[in-house]
Structure 1
């Protein structure tokens, strides 16, 4: 059985996708997840608001695989620290299985295969999945943004570093800024050889000016149209080259599909007695069947687009 903890937009979409694949699924709220019997559970998908580390540790120690959609930097760091717990239990914890992080790592893996070697990855994201995701987006513009540059972590003020990024239609071009995002942490975790990693989020002038204040307007209950843009740079045929890919769908649909596909693959591999290596992993890690997960995501209706230039 797969347990989905979280009954918001992302959790509901993930549970629906898993049921369509024929899995036995139990949906619970974050308040009742501790009532779940681990002995009857193979995979736990954490899609609720708030910290995931305590719940993840409990289910790992009980012998369950865990998938987390958390994109909070502090929570992600705490989840990465559970590697020893996961190894001791012989179970896998996939961290950041949403859009950004999550699908971003899968696209880096996909685009990286087009190079002889690649050394840069730059991510940009637009939109929010639901009320809690919108509150998170509001908060990330007021913290400290991380980036990896030539063997060192760079810390810059969130909301700085404006860059015009082009997303797949209908989103188009948006001003994007550094933000307190977990993507650099997980991208560097999955691709330790990278020399440069950055992540930005789209924002308006009002977003930046009010980032340190309470939200002035309530978030939309149905979430927003979301988009992801991933740019990978490297060497091909002795020359520098760039590859860009992305997607544009409702953000909750993207995140829910990625989470469901990660949970599906964990259970499928275990069922066929070819379990994924134990430990804490981020999507894109070579230990994961990234192409299979990406193919499964596309079968849910998420369309991946590649940029080939303008004429």
Structure 2
């Protein structure tokens, strides 16, 4: 990434590695100096998760909690990352302080859009708490979990025992924002997708690439969910890429995005 930036090339990163994400965010000054954009989190996770978080937070008067849950993997590299994350150290933002927990702990039943349904999800070494805290510094609690079977958790400290699938099945993403409306009433908003992880990641990366080409993103290292990102424009392009965004209001329903003015 550094070589590309110094060559004047913008970057859309789809990595989910916590270390990589931190390193990319540290390239903000370098990217500004070379007048390029670095999208930190341009896949499904992180990436689409941040866009949905921004969409939900904008619907609240005050947001104090953000919780992300993920199900499924794309190709072999993604499956290996999922395996490694379950055996790693999960970070979270809890009551305005960083916490660190063992991956594979903290079981929580999370409901994803159909046809995925409900899965037990656990803490893992994923990047959402880092990227979301960067763009929502006033939120008091941020967590992220991934779905896992008992076998996944028991074997996470070991090398993968079987080769990963070339392409995973239908995966899921769930983003939950908790806060208050303008009257002070407690409100919980939920959005997500049920889609092949590779498809969702590709659609998101393509949408961010288009935003760079159109000049819609500023220079520097931009985390997904930043208020500098034209969220509606990018989400509209994600939908155009074949991904259905769903909101939960008692029953699942498609998110209604406002129209985006065409760019001549």
Fold equivalence (TM over 0.5)? yes
The alignment's TM-score, normalised by the length of structure 2, stands at 0.93
Whether 2:246 is the aligned partner of 1:305: answer yes
Please report how far the alpha carbon of residue 276 of structure 1 lies from its aligned counterpart in structure 2 after TM superposition.
Answer: 2.3
* Post-superposition offset of 1:268: 1.3
Match of 1:251 in 2: 197
Unpaired runs of 5+ residues, structure 2, are 252-264
Question: Can you list the C-alpha shifts for 1:7-56, whole angstroms capped at 9, x where unaligned?
Answer: xxxxxxxxxxxxxxxxxxxxxxxxxxxxxxxxxxxxxxxxxxxxxxxxx1
Q: CA deviation at 1:224?
A: 2.6
Matched, 1:288 2:234: no
Q: Give the structure 1 partner of residue 219 of structure 2.
A: 278
Matches within 5 A, 1:100-179: 100-179=45-124
| Higher relative contact order (Cα pairs below 8 Å, separated by 6+ residues) | 2
Query: Segments of 4+ in structure 1 off by > 6 A?
Result: none
Alignment equivalent of 1:210, drawn from 155, 163, 172 = 155
Unpaired segments ≥5 residues, structure 1: 1-55, 270-274
Q: 1:87 offset after TM fit, Å?
A: 1.4
Contact map agreement 1:190 1:281 (CA 8 A) in 2: no
Checking the alignment, whether the CA contact within 8 Å between 1:117 and 1:235 is kept in structure 2 is: yes
Give the CA deviation at 1:301. Answer: 1.3
Alpha-carbon distance, 1:149 to partner: 1.1
Q: Is 1:87 the equivalent of 2:32?
A: yes
Distance 2:125 2:71 in 1: 14
Q: How big is the shift at 1:89?
A: 1.1
Give deviations 1:223-246, integer Å, cap 9, x for gaps.
231100000011102111100010
What is the Cα deviation at residue 289 of structure 1?
A: 0.9
Question: Number of aligned pairs?
Answer: 251
TM-score, normalisation: structure 1: 0.79
Q: 1:124 Cα shift? A: 0.1
Tell me, in whole angstroms, the C-alpha distance in 1 between the residues paired with 2:77 and 2:66. Answer: 27
Q: CA RMSD in A?
A: 1.2
Deviation (angstroms), 1:260: 0.7
Shift of 1:299: 1.1
The worse-fitting range, judged by mean Cα deviation, of 197-206 and 62-71 is: 62-71
